[in-house]
Amino acid sequence: MTDGTEKCNPKIEENQREDRRAFRKFIVLLLVSMVVGGITGAFSTMAAKEQADIGAGITAGLQKIAPYANLVIAAALAVWMTGMLRGGRAEYRRWDGEEEQLIEKIERKLGIGVIVTNVALIAGFFFFAAGMKSTGIDSGWEEEIPWVKIAATFLGLIAVMVVTVTAQNRIVNFTKEINPEKKGSVYDLKFQKTWIASCDEAEQLQIYRAAFRAYTAMNYAALGMFLVCFIGMLSWNFGLLPLTMVLFVWLTGVIVYGVESLRMTGGR
């Protein structure tokens, strides 16, 4: 039931037209997704044995390289970061104080460095888990304990973490040299809060936009992982735990985003 205000409000009619157009597309997308999901699930079930053989081959290969992978990652990251930072400082010394394109080029390199270090850290956690799996810890070490693999796995993770944090600290300090108004230390637990507070409004807006893009990407990634875990539960004996963990991370992101949005709206 509508009142006179709703009847004469052009925005309501515009919203209804927009919803009708979008709803038709949504229904088509939903039906296509259901068909594709059903076909994928059916083929996955029929090809379960072949996929299991492929998975076993990949697992066997990972178990050979995983204990030592982090040592290689740490060494490669240290060499690359050293070269990148030296090149950036050499370019900064040539800056005449006016050529903004040169500063933008340097800052872009530093941004790439942050991405690379974060990827290396996540890869480090993966290879740590895979390395411990390769030691046979889950079977209780029925045979001789592989001390070399265990030591390499732990030392590799420590090396990746040390190199990553050190590299990020050097990147942040270099950025503060270029932009003296920036504040914060990587070793400070409140670094992100301090850093954002030292940014101007335009930079903060860039951060918020990037965060929203990351939130959107997280939603798509979580949906994709849910489908993978669901098919795995039906075809590869994944069980409910992987699916539950994906949904937990997804739920955490959604709740934190919603609560933070309400908090910021109330603080205006």
Do 65 and 167 fall within a single domain? yes
Question: Where does a domain end: 198, 221, 244?
Answer: 198
Q: How far apart are CA 167 and CA 202, in angstroms?
A: 26
Same domain, 73 and 148: yes
Looking at the fold, whether 166 and 33 belong to one and the same domain comes out as no
Global model pTM greater than 0.85: no
Residues 220-246 have pLDDT tens digits of 999 888 988 888 887 778 888 889 999
Distance (Å, whole) CA 110 – CA 177: 12
Are 204 and 193 in a shared domain?
A: no
Q: How many beta carbons lie within 10 A of that of residue 224, not counting itself?
A: 11
Parent domain of 211: 200-268
Query: Does an H or E element contain 28, and which?
Result: helix 10-46
Walking along the chain (268 residues) 10 residues at a time, the average pLDDT comes out as: 54 61 63 62 55 56 81 95 92 81 89 93 92 76 77 93 93 89 86 88 88 91 89 81 92 91 73
**What's the number of domains the chain is made of?**
3
Q: Are residues 204 and 99 in the same domain?
A: no
User: What is the distance between the alpha carbons of residues 40 and 214, in angstroms, rounded to a whole number?
Assistant: 27
60 plus 193 within the same structural domain: yes
For 62-111, write each residue's pLDDT tens digit: 677 888 999 999 999 999 999 999 998 998 888 877 778 888 888 899 99
Same domain (yes/no): 218, 100: no
Residues 109 and 187 in one domain: yes
Same domain for 30 and 63, yes or no, is no
